[in-house]
Structure 1
Amino acid sequence: MTTTTGMGRSNARQMLTGPPLPEPAEQVDLRRMRPKGFSDESRLLPEHVWALMGCPCGKYT
């Protein structure tokens, strides 16, 4: 089994004896969305300042 699937013995055992996996569509729909830390209006100011500075990025500064 491990050579066929590429899984280790313990992972294969967990997959065979553990709870059934959810369908991919159900898993995406049951995600919990985190609340936004800032409002959309408060995000515009740093973007405006970033554009005024010439759009610097950390790689080149």
Structure 2
Amino acid sequence: MGSDLSRSTTVEVTRKYAGQYARASRKDKGRVRDEFCALTGPSQEQARHLLVKSATRTPNATRIDRRKAEPRNYSNDSREVLEHLWALSGGWCGPHLAAGMSPLLDALVNWSRWLDC
């Protein structure tokens, strides 16, 4: 906002004017917005957005993440092997890793046989 008010002062002023804005008639809302803009500095549209948003927000409310987690395509064991192969390949991207999977697995099996001897 283009004013010299501190952030905490701006928040307090916004809360005060948001209550007035919510209770005001349509004619008085313009006056409240004008006062708010003169004091804090946003445009009329930004002021309307801030005042409506502040009036409807519950103070100290935490946001709940309602996104659904994607189901895993691989089991944990398979994922560990894939991550190991990816690290051995030097971090190849998916298509290159898929193309080089067979030689990498063969090399890994041969290496483990050599270690068992």
| TM-score, reference length from structure 1 | 0.49
* Bigger RCO (CA 8 Å, 6+ sep): 2
Higher-Rg member (1/2): 2
Q: Which has the higher helix share?
A: 2
Task: Give the TM-score taking structure 2 as reference length.
Answer: 0.32
